[in-house]
Structure formats: structure tokens, C-alpha cells
Structure 1
Amino acid sequence: MSNTETRPPELKCGGEAEAARPAGVEVLTARDVPLGGPRAMRVRRTLPQRARTLIGAWCFADHYGPDDVTGTGGMDVAPHPHTGLQTVSWLFSGEIEHRDSLGSHAYVRPGELNLMTGGHGISHSEVSTPNTTILHGVQLWVALPREHQDAARDFQHHVPQPVPLDGGEARVFLGSLAGVTSPVRTFTPLLGAELTLAPGAVTTLDLDPAHEHGVLVDTGDVLVGGTAVQPAELGYAAPGRTALTLTNRGPEAARLVLLGGPPFDEEIVMWWNFIGRSHEDIVRAREDWTNGTRFGEVHGYDGAPLPAPELPNTPLKPRGRAR
């Protein structure tokens, strides 16, 4: 998915040592962002934000729907570029057609992971299909470490099987949880899983204490480690936890997305759809996209590629990892 903001913020983040934090869960609220398309489908963006720019290597989280595409027009994101990251597409309902400059033509469907690597440069388009009535899901980005920031283009597809939990189940699309490990390749240790909890269920997950974690609530009246986290909010748990208890207090099933990974200690600069290590990296990437080099072509999309926004006139302002 593209960041279609016409004036995207320029962020420099990570690279600072983690200080000791309280044991409580920090609640992050989302902001509404227009995604684009004929009637501007809106998404709820939880990462990045001023309070926190990264959770492990997870650097971007959009949560959208349930969206009735007959009223909004659905998703129609024209070809656009990425550098220095992996995109993680995960749906709860609906279907999205994906095309990229690697030549991949695939569909994003509920419970199926599509992971695209855009290291040195890739471009892709995303369009909800005519089969879609209700579009609902998350789009996530992962920052690549310096040694892999120019990795080759790649596309992976995986269908995780449900794993039982106390009062629910998990679908582990990245990393390891509840005794299962995803086969999908990443460049840093990561955890990504969809969790569902029955009404009144209480489940405790074993965690890697070296990792920090985020729980994005899609539906339900949920406690994360004893802290209430509302739908569209994200509960952040700092490193040091060996377990996390999740409670569904409501009369309906709850659905959550669990993200995790070791703190990302490198500084990155993120602007529009690019991740680099300096302002100059971003300038070069933008020039290459504008000039039609480096990112390849997306075939089969009916329309012009997205133009790059104008870069800000002010110098890049450092933004460190929240303490």
C-alpha cells in the first residue's frame, strides 16, 4: 500500500538505546488518512506517530474497514515505488489484486499473507476486486536493516493454519508463536499474527523478553496486560515481558493483530514510500521514480503511476526512538 499523503512527514527514527520503561501497556491512538481512489477511502494509521515510530522493525501500520466499497469505491492505488522495506498485506474480508514490477500478479485474500520486498527498489499497484463488497484488513511495513537495505525484489505468499489458544486461535504469518513458526523469510526477527478470542476468553501468550510488542485491536472489548485498548488503538508492551495476558470482556468475538521484534537500533529516514539512511537517499529515490528508472514497470494496471510529492524545503529533523 502507498502512503498517498501529498505532504508526508519526513522522519528520522531509531538508533537510540532503550531506557528502562514502566511495566504498563502504552496505548497509541490512530489518525485518519485518506488513501486515495475516486471517493478517498480512509485508513487509520497507528505507526508511525510522534509517540512511537517503530515496534521492532515494524515502521508503518494502516488499519482499514470494514469498508463498503459500493459507497467508497474501495481501494485503487496506482503503481508507486518502495525502497528499503518489506510490505505485509493481511485481510479480514474482501480481496485485493496485486501487481508489481517483479512480474507478480497475485491476490490478497483473508487469512493469506502477501509479503513484498522492495529493497533497492520495486513498484506495485493494489486494487480491490469486483468480488469485494466489504474491504477490511491491515497493511504493514517492515524496515530493512542497513546490510539488506538494497536487497533484491521479492514476493512471498503464505497461508498459515490456525493454531488453538485458550479461548481462541492464532494465525502466525511471521515469526514464532504458540509452538509454530512461519516459513516466510524476513531480514530481522519478527512476529506477526492474527488472534481471535471468544467472548469472555482470557489467554496468556509466551513472549520473547528481548522483543517489544504491539497489539492492534480490530474488534472487541479488550484488555492488553490489564490495560483497556479500544478498537483501532494499539497497545505497546516494552521489552522485558515473558508473557502477555489478553482478555476479551465483551459479548462478541475479539480480533487482534500481534506484532513484535527486537528494538530496531539503526536510524532510518522514512518519507512517502521510501526508507533510507539519509536525506540524500530519499532525494535519489524520488529522482529515480520521477525519471522512470530503478523501480521497473507494473503491467496490467489501467492508469498512470502515482507522482511523487514535493520534498519539504526544510532540512531533515532527527526523530529518535521513543523512550
Structure 2
Amino acid sequence: MTNLEVRPVPELCDLVPTTGPVVELHPSRDVPLGGVRAMRVRRTLPQRGLPLVGAWCFLDEFGPQHVDMRVLPHPHTGLQTVTWPVAGEILHRDSVGSEAVVRPGQLNLMTAGRGVAHSEFSLGSEPLIHAAQLWVALPEGAAEGAAAFEQVSDLPVWETTGVRATVFIGQLDGLVSPAHVHTPLLGTEVTVGAGASADVPLVPGFEHAILVLDGSLEVAGTPHAPSGLLYLGDGRSSVHLRSRDGARLLLLGGAPFEHDLVMWWNFVGRNHADIAQARADWESPDRADRFGVVAGHGDARIPAPELPNIRLQPRRRQPPKGLPE
């Protein structure tokens, strides 16, 4: 998925020590993608007060909505894209030569490295689409490496009475996703049955956050619904989930990221120069030298917005809004 904002906000996402367990709600922001009949997404990362959760640096939820999603070829640098559908089918094509349809229960993971381009189209006429699109920031070395793509269908599942967690990225309680990532991470879809509750094991050195996809639940005793991202801080060995009527959620986590990041449009870099060069390369007639070609679209692509007329400035994480537990 691309960030189609005409004036994307430049951000420097810096490493900030977390403060132990907290319960901190970060409301989502509605963003239209496309033209008059735009698909709307709810963006919860990055935010002024929360630029990262581990290496997770971007999170959009789109749908459930009946829509023709048509995202033309666009570039990425310095990140991995994670596509996790809840409903509907999405056709992915990229400049590595991949063409794959991703369905609920499957993971699409694309590594941009120094540069990649891809497109995403829904299948069918105005199908019901509901999915999460996430980005993972790449550390030094991998950020300058080669592009790659993998689709993973055989994912491990953690279960207890009334609660089921599909581990699509990283590891949960010794269950490890086969998806290839470059930093310690956790990405799971969790379903909590009506009247069910459970303590889900966590890694204390990770920071964690929860996004409710549907339903409502209590997280560590705090009511939570599809209203934003609930940041839980770090230092937890488990989190208690309980739902009266049933819920589906994403549980994300990771070790605090060790590098400063500048994010602008679809590019992740270390500084202003990295972003400016990536934009110039995408707008160059020789863009294929860095980003390759996505087959099946001819010359169609999404052009980059204009850079702001300033150097990209830091955006620091603000103090927590919630109360330590």
C-alpha cells in the first residue's frame, strides 16, 4: 500500500526509552486514499506521540468497505511492507517479479531494501475489503540491501480456551513465524470468543500495542474498542485480554528500534538526504535502475509529491498520556 497524501508530513522517528507498563490510547486519523470515491483508511502509526512500536513504523487499517482498490506502482525504501487481509483478496505485483494473490490467513511480506516498487489491486467488482497494512523499519545493512518478496501461508497458532492467536511476524511463547524479518518483533491476529479471557504471554523487553479490528474487549482491565491504538509500553510478561461479546485484534510488539528514522511519503531513510535522493530517483527517467519495473502496468505509476521547502525536522515522542500500571 502507498501513502497517497498530497502533503505527507516529514517525521524523524527517534529511539526514546519507554517507561514500563502503561495504558495509552492514540486515536486513529482518517486518511482518504485516491480520488472522489476514495478508500478511507484509519492511520494509527506514526503519530506525534508514538512514532514507533518496536520497528513497526506505519499502520493503516482499511475497510470493511465495498470498494475497488487500485493502487498503481509506487516505490518504497528502507522498510518491509506487511499486508494482512481480514476479508477480501488482493493482487500484489512488484519489481522483483512477484505476482501473488493474498487472502485472509495469509501474509504478504515485501522487503524494500534500497528500493522496490509494487502495486496492489482488489479482486472482483467492489468487493468487501478489510485489511491492515503495516511497515517495519529496516536496520542498518538490510536497509541498503536487495529487495525481496515472500508469501507465507503456514503460520503458527497459539491457543487457549476461547482465545486464538495467529503469529504472522516474529514469535509468541516459542511459536515462530517463518516470515523473514531483521529485528526482534511480534505481529499476531488474536480472536477472543464471547465471554472468554486469557493471559497472553509477552516478552518483557518488547514494547507492545493493540489495535481492535472488530468487537470490543478489556486490555489489562481497560476497555478498548476500534478507536485507535492502545500502547502498552514495555516490561510486561503477559497481557490480560477479556471480551464479553467477542473481538478480533492485532497485537504488535518489538524491541525498541536502535536507529533514527526519517519517514516521508513511502520512503524511510536515516536523514533528509536519503529521502531527497530516493524521491529524485523515483522521478528520474532512469528510475528502473533503483526501483525496477512492475509488469502489467505499462508506464502508469504514482508520482512522488513535492518535498517540503524545508529540511526534514525531528518529531520526538511525547510523554505518555496514560497512567503507569
TM range (shorter): over 0.9
Map 1:150-165 to 2 at 5 A. Answer: 150-159=144-153, 160-165=155-160
Structure 1 residues 57 and 278, CA gap change in structure 2 (3 angstroms): same
- Displacement, 1:215? 0.7
Residues 48 and 317, structure 2, Cα contact 8 Å, conserved in 1: no
Q: Secondary structure, in 3 states, of the residue corresponding to 2:277?
A: helix
Equivalent AA in structure 2 for residue 271 of structure 1 = W
Partner residue in 2 for 1:317: 313
Partner residue in 1 for 2:301: 305
Q: Distance in 2 between matches of 1:321 and 1:187?
A: 23
Map 1:96-107 to 2 at 5 A. Answer: 96-107=90-101
Residues 145 and 266, structure 1, Cα contact 8 Å, conserved in 2: yes
Correspondent of 2:255 among 243, 248, 262: 262
The range that moved more, 53-62 or 173-182, is 173-182
Equivalent AA in structure 2 for residue 129 of structure 1 = L
Q: Secondary structure, in 3 states, of the residue corresponding to 1:286?
A: helix
Q: Distance in 1 between matches of 2:11 and 2:99?
A: 32
Question: TM-score by structure 1 length?
Answer: 0.94
Unaligned 5+ segments in structure 2 are 320-325
Q: Secondary structure, in 3 states, of the residue corresponding to 1:238?
A: strand
Q: Secondary structure, in 3 states, of the residue corresponding to 1:283?
A: helix
Aligned residues: 315
The range that moved more, 154-163 or 109-118, is 154-163
Q: CA RMSD in A?
A: 1.5
Partner residue in 1 for 2:31: 33
Correspondent of 2:292 among 268, 293, 296: 296
Q: Secondary structure, in 3 states, of the residue corresponding to 2:283?
A: helix
Partner residue in 2 for 1:221: 216
Please give the per-residue CA displacement for 1:263-305, whole angstroms capped at 9, x wherever unaligned: 1131100000000011010000000000042101111136610
Q: Distance in 1 between matches of 2:213 and 2:18?
A: 30
Correspondent of 2:84 among 90, 93, 100: 90
Map 1:55-94 to 2 at 5 A. Answer: 55-69=53-67, 74-94=68-88
Unaligned 5+ segments in structure 1 are none
Partner residue in 2 for 1:133: 127
Residues 214 and 234, structure 1, Cα contact 8 Å, conserved in 2: yes
Correspondent of 1:240 among 214, 235, 238: 235
Q: Distance in 2 between matches of 1:25 and 1:265?
A: 23
Equivalent AA in structure 2 for residue 265 of structure 1 = E
Equivalent AA in structure 1 for residue 208 of structure 2 = H
Structure 1 residues 262 and 281, CA gap change in structure 2 (3 angstroms): same
Residues 24 and 225, structure 1, Cα contact 8 Å, conserved in 2: no
Residues 44 and 232, structure 1, Cα contact 8 Å, conserved in 2: no
Residues 94 and 132, structure 1, Cα contact 8 Å, conserved in 2: no
Q: Does 1:280 align with 2:273?
A: yes
- Displacement, 1:14? 1.5
Partner residue in 2 for 1:201: 196
Q: Distance in 2 between matches of 1:304 and 1:204?
A: 49
Question: TM-score by structure 2 length?
Answer: 0.93
Q: Distance in 1 between matches of 2:19 and 2:64?
A: 38
Equivalent AA in structure 1 for residue 294 of structure 2 = V
Runs (4 or more) in structure 1 with deviation over 3 Å come to: none
- Displacement, 1:19? 4.9
Q: Distance in 2 between matches of 1:108 and 1:50?
A: 32
Q: Distance in 2 between matches of 1:262 and 1:223?
A: 24
Partner residue in 2 for 1:3: 3
Equivalent AA in structure 1 for residue 77 of structure 2 = T
Q: Distance in 2 between matches of 1:132 and 1:141?
A: 26
